[in-house]
A = this chain, B = another copy of it.
Amino acid sequence: MLIKIKKSAHAGDIQMIRQLLNRHNLGHRVINAGTETIIGVEANPSEEIARELNALSAVESAMPIATPYKLASLAAHPEKTVIRIGNIEIGGEAIVLMAGPCAIESQEQLEAVAEGLKGTGVSVLRASAYKPRTSPYSFQGMGEEGLKLHVSAKAKHGLLIETEVMDVRDVALVAAHVDIIRIGARNMQNFDLLKEVGKCGKPVILKRGMSSTIEEWLMSAEYIIAHGNPDVILCERGIRTFENATRSTLDLSSIPVLKRLTHLPVIVDPSHAAGRKDLIPALSAAAIAAGADGLLVEVHANPKKAKCDGKQALLPIEWAELVCLLKKVALAMGRSI
């Protein structure tokens, strides 16, 4: 249930509602959503309790919602969310292209990619300063120094920038530097991190966890929204299955499924799903045909020298060629790039 509180309500009124919910063992959270105050309730109360709630003078409305995610649900918010950043819209008619290297490795490297992306319709330069690496002995990212290189590239190339944040202690710093924050697959259920980006004031790309159901994914989006940040972009990046021809199995069905459950935009990362660059064109085209609102693709000017994931990065020239195909597919789907 979502309980909308009247603007005229006092702190005491809200306290009374919470006591009522506590009395019935109904988990909940008070959410300050812009100028509104909403109380999200874990489950739908009985009709009797619902009546009691509706009778309270501070309650503007109390909407029962069948799904465990509330604010993220289409039921609560029937119009599609369109996120505006700079001059782009994510979730609108146009499909947004985000591309760049896996990791920020040096100014030269980032420059070379940014240069290579010129004229290919990319509006967001992706790159990571903090890297979740399986091995403690592998390159762990450039950290703050990398963020600064990212900002320079933004200034020089007129691209928006997005990057991953892994540590709650880095959220403020990262949010101060980039336009879009990314939560990686391994952190999809790092709830403290979700709470923290909920307060960061920047749009968040939330990657699907490798073994997360669509419902769990939406619950993680709910965490971010319920902590104050409505600008969540879901990113399908493959799930773990027995098949090992690809690093993960890209679950493109999740796109039309999500479109029936949530108002949030959905993008696709074919690079981490495939783990090999030869599949990127087919998977990118398929993602757009399945209804994706954007793509997040790895491009590197010198993949053989990449400090991570070189095998899945396209060359800028390959990317440019792919975009030509993607424009046609977008058009066929009644959209544009």
Contacts and interface: CB of A to CB of B under 8 A. Distances in A.
Interface string A232-274: 0000000111111110011111111101100000000000011
Nearest to A238: B253
A263 B226 CA distance: 43
A52 interface: no
Q: Considering residues A216, A255, A285, which has the most beta carbons from chain B within 10 angstroms of its beta carbon?
A: A285
Contacts of A260: 278
A289 B137 contact: no
A243 B213 CA distance: 5
A259 B139 CA distance: 29
A136 to B, nearest CB: 4
Given A132-B189, A186-B190, A245-B214, A289 B329 contact: yes
Nearest to A190: B190
A273 to B, nearest CB: 7
Contacts of A134: 68, 189, 216, 219
A319 interface: no
A29 interface: yes
A132 B194 CA distance: 11
A90 interface: no
A219 B215 CA distance: 29
A8 interface: no
A153 interface: no
A135 interface: yes
Contacts of A287: 286
Contact of A286 (B167, B243, B286, B328): B286
Interface in A94-146: 132-140
A25 to B, nearest CB: 8
Contacts of A259: 282
Contacts of A211: 209-211, 240, 242
Contacts of A215: 245
Contacts of A250: 251-253
Please name the 4 residue pairs, one residue from A and one from B, whose CB atoms are nearest each other, closest first.
A211-B211, A289-B289, A256-B282, A42-B137
Interface of A: 27-29, 40-42, 68, 70, 132-140, 166-169, 186-187, 189-192, 195, 209-211, 213-216, 219, 222-223, 226-227, 239-246, 249-257, 259-260, 273-274, 278-279, 281-283, 285-291, 325, 328-329, 331-333
